[in-house]
Structure 1
């Protein structure tokens, strides 16, 4: 859970958000639950500990858990939505320019890591993948690159958001 908390803190910081006591409590309840949870079930579990936490706070925090790559969404056949912890399995892209982190939710990456470990005879318990680069908000546009190449000037990088 420590790695997931570290990831959650980094996500919040890179998005100019704070780790409030309410978010931390929601995080802990979510991570300590072994089963797949609906938002309403998570709300009830959290309100058993702190009745002041609102439905909207739980819903927003679940969105942040999803966006940070800590949780994944499961759409059931009956139309209900549930969430489960990704544990310490998570992958993310990190922009070297603005510092923003983008979670990667790709079963092929997970499968590739597991297969690589299996081929090497390695028993894998968790994994983390980080891809470092420049996000599309910080990458010069095609027009900027064309103008720069015509004038033999390196393109100006956009400022981070």
Structure 2
């Protein structure tokens, strides 16, 4: 991979890649593996990008596909990796403990969702339009709207218990 490609086509979209990889991993080592694999696949597939959508849509699609593929491959989550994640989290200094805790709880709830629901809600949290999410996920905008409402209800239940 050339430095120019990385600087021009990956670095500006690193936030997208990081958020998706974080949502599908439980420890720093897995995160690094996912991130590197996404970057590699973006580079390998660069000639397949036809410009019919935005580059950011392509980055989302590749990031999600790679993360879901790796997740299926590594479906077993060991107790050791969960323990390491807890230790890493304890060692991080919190700039705003309340905000950090809320964000941590949200990501824990998101990780309990199905793979597809997780991808959809991450795109929604990135403030992508239903149309953009539909393009990335290969679904209709109407279907995305229905799914987002159901996902929100699931998250409320996971975060706050029974929702009336």
| TM-score, shorter chain, exceeding 0.5 | no
Q: Which structure shows the higher helix fraction?
A: 2
Structure with the bigger RCO (C-alpha within 8 Å, sep 6+) is 2
Give TM-score scaled by structure 2 length.
Answer: 0.28
Give TM-score scaled by structure 1 length.
Answer: 0.28
Task: Compare CA radii of gyration and give the structure with the larger one.
Answer: 1
